[in-house]
Homo-oligomer: A and B are copies of this chain.
């Protein structure tokens, strides 16, 4: 396969003064890398005709493919067209289809179009005009002296639409890119990243195609398998083989593929088993409930949560025994047990989960910050309690406690 060299150029002074971040370059690079195209440079240049021209001249000399974002707007500061005209000598004209879309855009919003908006419909002779379905300025693909130029708006969602719908398909065909890249994300909970890496070490060391990458985030880990092949089917087949190996070793910690979360999986399991859930939260302070209520349809399984932050509310509302609080403290196994059991008793839920502990930064009741008790109670069964020592910030302790709660629920329900 011929090696294609690309450059990504962003035009806009707002990036050079640090007002916005050039996230477009990352997104574009990811697309190109997925298609096996080398990116040699990212450049950012301000709204200055001389400097934009000089950046374009250099790219015209060096690159097979140049992706330009920004500078296509209606104002005097938008100089991408002018600069490329100086480089290429190509004529420009107003594109009727694009102009009609711009007029319609103003009409629909009941606003008056100012004359400078005509500028946004100006395209180079011989250019392929790329419809912008989410904004005004169209994109353009121009071939000039052996280099393919793609011009796109700087607004990320407009750029992404034009890149996905038009630029990548064109580039794949133009450069005859046969291979496809497929990737699959496997999520695990209840195993640490170092243990996961140890368990998969020989696979990771021998990796080639698919590649294997591990990621850790708050309280969980993921493995991304990425394969390149001549077809999607073949790439999927290559991934299947490695996935099977991975699952044989750490499958007991697996909870889902790609875009999912452990709370989503817990939600699905509760639905499948027709269980309802209630919670009682002290240090997590509503964070557990929020994670469930964030899911559309949560009311099918989630009844509610007692955010019993003060000891008196634990006692008076949630019915934790005065004696428990006096003798064991609110940060104790016994308090967690009573919280989970009473959450079930008071709401009639099938399952109750409770969280009590010290979020920090200071200790409490003689317990270290990060000490957390989580109890899980199913109606009519023995309550199970897990004690954790989490080393993190206040928010980290709270978030990890919630994640651990979902971990326990997932393994209990599955």
Contacts and interface: CB of A to CB of B under 8 A. Distances in A.
Given A306-B307, A308-B304, A394-B294, A26 B15 contact: yes
A29 interface: yes
A289 B398 CA distance: 13
Nearest to A300: B310
A294 B307 CA distance: 13
A44 B348 CA distance: 59
Copies of chain A in the complex: 2
Contacts of A305: 285-286, 305, 307, 309
A285 B298 contact: yes
A347 B315 CA distance: 10
A412 interface: no
A283 B287 contact: no
Given A15-B29, A21-B26, A286-B290, A296 B394 contact: yes
A39 interface: yes
B28 A293 contact: no
A126 to B, nearest CB: 30
Chain A's interface size range is 35 or more
Contact of A39 (B17, B26, B279): B17
Contacts of A43: 41-44
B17 A312 contact: no
A237 interface: no
B309 A306 contact: no
Contacts of A40: 16, 45-46, 48, 51
A42 B42 contact: yes
Given A41-B45, A285-B286, A286-B293, 7 more contacts: A15-B25, A15-B29, A16-B38, A283-B293, A286-B290, A293-B398, A303-B312
A317 interface: yes
